Structure 1
């Protein structure tokens, strides 16, 4: 359990560092891609 928590903390910290270096346009593009993935997954679940 402790190892999993440490892993999640490190991966979240690295994700935040990656976001700091991204431009606003790159962030917007990634948000759109993630929203599309969520929509596709919701269709699979409900369809």
Structure 2
């Protein structure tokens, strides 16, 4: 897994999990909620992978 800038992130419509940092973009959160995409905190994600 590599860090990517926002312009390289996959569209939310093809996403199955959204990792939410401290200052998430409202439009991405809204779209994820609309599509029923699971959202987890960055800390939880780090616990899953490490």
Larger radius of gyration: 1
User: Which category describes the TM-score, using the shorter chain as reference length?
Assistant: under 0.3
Q: TM-score, normalised by structure 1?
A: 0.28
Which structure's residues are more often helix, by fraction? 1
| Higher RCO (CA < 8 A, seq sep 6+) | 2
Which structure's residues are more often strand, by fraction? 2
